[in-house]
């Protein structure tokens, strides 16, 4: 008797749905609390708290609906054999078009085209409602319907241009990889990640947003002086027009070796009236660089990727595994990767939980780094301002945040900064 892989995968997916829904219900109850956490009383205005509460409850209610529809569709697609049905229909399409359905690369690309069309159809209502109802209702959405669909078309075109060469290369590698397949696949993905990290900010991101140099002035001078004091090889300092789509704010850095760039959202500059608050946020980000958090995270991802490909090589020729998911007589490379990803879902949940623990630790360390540079008060003010302006959840359930959050809740970050202050006193 063969192991019921399909039933086990679908069963675990449903089990995790109930577990995560329980956590969502706990968080929803936290959103309903009518008062601020005591540490935020007098720090966050009552008006901002009420707006944050309404925004969080709206998103939470929609999340319940979205997650229910998602688990029904995903488990139904697997259990009722929609995946092999899609694969067979892709082959029928190739035959109808006069192309060779036996060519695995062509068959896979036709399959992915069908999947992409399906995804666009099912995801579109969710994106439209989230953007033009929830985000608009709470004052965040700034994009027009035209810009929304323009971005969607650009994303589809990019997927059509970038996707086929990558998929084709992976199929060829698997077909010819031999005993060192896992290493070859990892090497390909490593090279691809380096290329994408290099090209994305230069060629892809500008297709969606406008990047302009931060104008000369006090803010630019302070950021450049901070970067110079830390020996951060800052080459360019940009402002991105995030306000054309949303009033949410952010800042990030990218680049390799001695070619680093910092990007500030225009909304961040507008929301932090004091330049020192913006500099404090940048000091936090520079802390991640100085403490090698980015490098550690990158190395961890590479190790996990290699382990995943190693696991895939162990099961890629498993006839029982493919047949359990409805694939009889065929073992396509892409399908094998998809099935394998589903079979290791339990491990992925554990890994994601561990990575979130590490990420939260990194955030505390970066906050402490900025504090040690003398930006404790400015960072606290900046964090509060970002929490207010983004209407982030003020009350958080400890179980929910421990499982989901990659960043500590505001209350914990402020407490940690105050604790370090008291230690020094």
Strand pairing report for 251-254 and 260-265? antiparallel
Within 8 A by CB and 6+ apart from 13, the residues are 71, 74, 75, 78, 342, 345
Can you state the angle between helices 145-176 and 333-343, rounded to 10 degrees? 100
> Of 104, 135, 266, 367, which one is the catalytic site residue?
367
Q: Is 349 annotated as a binding residue?
A: no
- Catalytic: 274? no
CA separation for the pair 127, 221 (Å, rounded): 39
20 is in an annotated binding site: no
CB atoms within 10 A of CB 251: 18
The rounded distance, in Å, linking the Cα atoms of 232 and 255 is 11
Query: Are 255 and 235 contacting, i.e. CB atoms less than 8 angstroms apart?
Result: yes
Catalytic residue among 135, 266, 285, 412: 285
Q: Extract the tokens encoding 200.
A: 């994305």
Q: What number of other Cβ atoms are within 10 A of residue 1's Cβ?
A: 3
Q: Going edge to edge, which strands form the sheet with 260-265?
A: 211-213, 234-240, 260-265, 251-254
Label residue 313 exposed, middle or buried (CB < 10 Å: 0-12, 13-18, 19+). buried
Asked if 218 is an active-site residue, the reply is: no
Binding annotation: 284, 288, 363
Q: So which residues are the catalytic ones?
A: 285, 367
Binding site listing for Zn(2+) = 284, 288, 363
């Amino acid at each position: 008797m063969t192991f019921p892989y399909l039933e086990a995968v679908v069963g675990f997916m449903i089990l995790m749905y109930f577990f995560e829904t329980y956590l969502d219900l706990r968080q929803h109850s936290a959103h309903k609390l009518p008062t601020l956490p005591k540490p935020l009383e007098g720090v966050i205005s009552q008006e901002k708290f009420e707006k944050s509460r309404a925004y969080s409850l709206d998103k939470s209610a929609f999340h319940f609906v979205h997650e229910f529809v998602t688990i029904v569709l995903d488990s139904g697609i697997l259990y009722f054999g929609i995946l092999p049905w899609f694969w067979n229909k892709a082959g029928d399409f190739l035959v109808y078009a006069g192309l060779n359905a036996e060519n695995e690369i062509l068959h896979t690309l036709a399959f992915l085209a069908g999947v992409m069309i399906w995804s666009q159809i099912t995801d579109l209502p969710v994106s439209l409602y989230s953007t033009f109802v929830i985000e608009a209702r709470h004052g965040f959405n700034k994009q027009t319907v035209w810009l929304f669909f323009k971005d969607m078309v650009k994303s589809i075109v990019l997927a059509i241009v970038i996707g086929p060469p990558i998929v084709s290369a992976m199929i060829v590698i698997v077909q010819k990889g031999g005993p060192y397949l896992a290493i070859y696949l990892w090497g390909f993905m490593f090279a691809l990640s380096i290329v994408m990290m290099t090209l994305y900010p230069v060629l892809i991101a500008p297709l969606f947003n406008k990047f302009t140099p931060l104008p000369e002035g006090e803010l630019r001078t302070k950021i450049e002086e901070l970067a110079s004091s830390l020996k951060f090889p800052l080459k360019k300092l940009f402002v991105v027009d995030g306000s054309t789509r949303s009033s949410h704010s952010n800042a990030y850095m990218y680049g390799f070796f001695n070619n680093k760039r910092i990007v500030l959202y225009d909304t961040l500059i507008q929301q932090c009236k004091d330049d020192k608050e913006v500099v404090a946020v940048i000091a936090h980000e520079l802390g991640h660089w100085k403490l090698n958090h980015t490098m550690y995270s990158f190395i961890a991802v590479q190790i996990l990727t290699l382990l995943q490909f190693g696991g895939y090589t162990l099961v890629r020729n498993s006839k029982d595994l493919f047949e359990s998911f409805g694939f009889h007589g065929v073992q396509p490379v892409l399908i094998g990767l998809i099935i394998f990803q589903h079979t290791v879902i339990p491990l992925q949940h554990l890994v994601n939980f561990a990575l979130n623990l590490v990420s939260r630790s990194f955030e505390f360390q970066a906050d402490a780094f900025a504090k040690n540079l003398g930006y404790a008060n400015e960072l606290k003010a900046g964090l509060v301002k970002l929490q207010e302006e983004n209407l982030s959840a003020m009350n958080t359930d400890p179980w929910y945040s421990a499982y989901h959050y990659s960043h500590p809740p505001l209350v914990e970050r402020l407490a940690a900064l105050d604790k370090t202050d008291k230690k020094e006193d």
